[in-house]
Amino acid sequence: MEYRLSHRAQNLRHCMMDAFHLRDAKDMIFFNSGQPAADLYPRALLRAVLDELLAEEPQILAYPGSQGDEELRKALAERQNRLDGGADIRAEQIVVTNGGTGGADLLAQLFIDPGDTVLSETPTFPETLDCFAKSGARLAGVSMDAGGPLPDELERLAQKCRPRFFYVIPNFQNPTGRCTSPERRRAVAEIARRYGFFIVEDDPYRELNFDAAPPPSYHSLAPDCTISMGSLSKTIAPGMRIGWLVLPDELVERAVMTLKATALCYPALLHRAAARVLEHPQFDAHVAELRRDLKRRCQLLTGLMSAQIPTGWLTWETPLGGMFLWCRLHGGVSAMDFAVRARDRWHVAFFPGVCFTPNYEGEDFSLRLTFARQTDAQMAEGVRRIVAALKSFAAN
C-alpha cells in the first residue's frame, strides 16, 4: 500500500543526535545523556505523595481540564517567584505541557507559519529546534561567547529576518554550560523590544547552580516580551513529562484551545503528585543534594581529564552549574570523526558540536560531555577511553 504522507511529515529533519544515542549497545560508556542518574530521583518522596493521593483523593483519576492541574500551576508560580526575585508569575498565566519539548511544540503551533524565521543561540538544544522546523520555520543562529549571545549579531539578524522569536537557554546552557551575564540579558531584552519579537526563555537548569544563584531571568527583566519555558525533568524526573509555559494573559486561552485539540487533557495524577513534591518540606533538601552531587561529578570529570589528557589536545569550559561540559579539540581533529571513532572503536559515546547547530553547520571542533548519569567507575573508564581515542588520532 502506498502511504501519502503530509508535507510536514515528509519534511521532518533527521536529528543528528540519534546516531550517538545507542541505548542498547553493550559495554558502551555514555557521556551523552542529559538527565540525572536514577539514584538522584526523589523516589521515596514520589512514592509517599502517590500513595497519599490514591488513598485520599481517588477523584484525581477522573478526566481533568486542559490547562494543567491548578494546584501544580500555583506551586510552579510560587516556586518560580521565590527563585527569581524579580518575577511576578501568576498561576493563571501557566499552561502545563508534555515536558519542555511539549512547550516548544505548542509555541510552534501558536506562532509559526511556514517560512517564518526563528532565531536561537548557537550552539543550542537541537530537539527544540526540531519542533520549530516541523512547523516550517527557517532557523538562524546567533553566536555566543562566554557571556551569552552576541547582541550585535542578534540585532543584525533582527533587522534582516523579522523573527517571530529568539530561543535562549540562559542558565547553564545546553550544550555549553554557559550562564548569560546580566548585561547581555538587558541588551537582548532591549533588542527584542525594539524589533518587536518575543524572547523564548527555556530555563530547566536554573536550580542546578553549584554555588551562586544565576542572574535575574529575562522574564523578570522584560515580562512584556518574554515567554518562559520550564520543566521538572532535571529536578524531579524526566519520565513524568511535566513542562510549562508562562504566557501573556491574552495568549492563555488560545494556548489551551490548541492543547485541547491535540491532547484533550493532562495526566492529572502525575500533575498533582508533582505539586505535592514541590510543596513538600523535603524538596529543597533534595535539590540541594542534587546540586552538590552534580558539582562533585563535574569536579571528578574535569580532574580526571586534567590528569590524563596531554596539554593542548582538548580544552573545556568549566561550568558553574548544570550537567554539561563543552570541549574543544585542537590540532585540526574533526569532532565528528573523533566522536564516530570513539563510539565505534573505543565504545564511548558523546555528541559532536555540529549536532547543536540550527542547520547542522559549524562547531567542527567542539563536543559535549555530560557528567550527570555515570557512576564514578564509569566516568574514570570513559575518560581512559577518550584519552585512548585522542592518542589514536595523534598517532596518525
Q: How does DSSP assign 157-185, residue by residue? A: HHHHH--SEEEE--SS-TTT-----HHHH
* Residues whose CB is less than 8 angstroms from the CB of residue 367 and which lie 6 or more positions away in sequence, other chains included: 326, 327, 328, 329, 335, 338, 339, 350, 351, 352, 353
Task: Provide the pLDDT for residue 289.
Answer: 97
Task: Tell whether domain 18-41+285-394 is in CATH 3.40.50.2000.
Answer: no
Q: What's the Cα-to-Cα distance from 282 to each of 15, 46, 55, 79, 287, rounded to whole Å? A: 38, 11, 21, 14, 9
Q: Is the pLDDT of residue 393 over 90?
A: no
pLDDT confidence band for 221 (50 / 70 / 90) = very high
Q: Is the pLDDT of residue 14 over 70?
A: no
Q: Is the pLDDT of residue 24 over 80?
A: no
Q: Is the pLDDT of residue 341 over 60?
A: yes
Q: What's the Cα-to-Cα distance from 396 to each of 112, 294, 378, rounded to whole Å? A: 48, 36, 28
- Predicted TM-score (pTM) of the model is 0.94
Q: Is the pLDDT of residue 187 over 60?
A: yes
Task: Tell whether domain 43-280 is in CATH 3.40.50.720.
Answer: no
Quick: pLDDT tens for 59-75: 999 888 889 999 999 99
Task: Provide the pLDDT for residue 65.
Answer: 85
Distance between CA 105 and CA 124 in Å, rounded? 16
- Domain range annotation of the chain: 18-41+285-394, 43-280
Percent of the chain with pLDDT over 90: 85
Angle between helices 283-308 and 268-279 (to 10 degrees): 90
pLDDT confidence band for 85 (50 / 70 / 90) = confident
pLDDT confidence band for 255 (50 / 70 / 90) = very high
Task: Provide the pLDDT for residue 394.
Answer: 76
- For the chain, the average pLDDT equals 93
Task: Provide the pLDDT for residue 110.
Answer: 96
Interval 329-358 mean pLDDT: 95
Task: Provide the pLDDT for residue 21.
Answer: 57
Interval 189-218 mean pLDDT: 97
Intrachain domains 18-41+285-394 and 43-280 with the same fold = no
Grid cell locating 105: 511544540
Task: Provide the pLDDT for residue 26.
Answer: 78
Quick: pLDDT tens for 108-132: 999 999 999 999 999 999 999 999 9
Q: What's the Cα-to-Cα distance from 179 to each of 150, 171, 173, 229, 337, rounded to whole Å? A: 13, 5, 6, 16, 29
Quick: pLDDT tens for 283-323: 999 999 999 999 999 999 999 999 999 999 999 999 999 99
Find where cell 566522536 sits: 339
Q: Is the pLDDT of residue 200 over 90?
A: yes
Task: Provide the pLDDT for residue 381.
Answer: 98
Where is pLDDT greater, at 35 or 55? Answer: 55
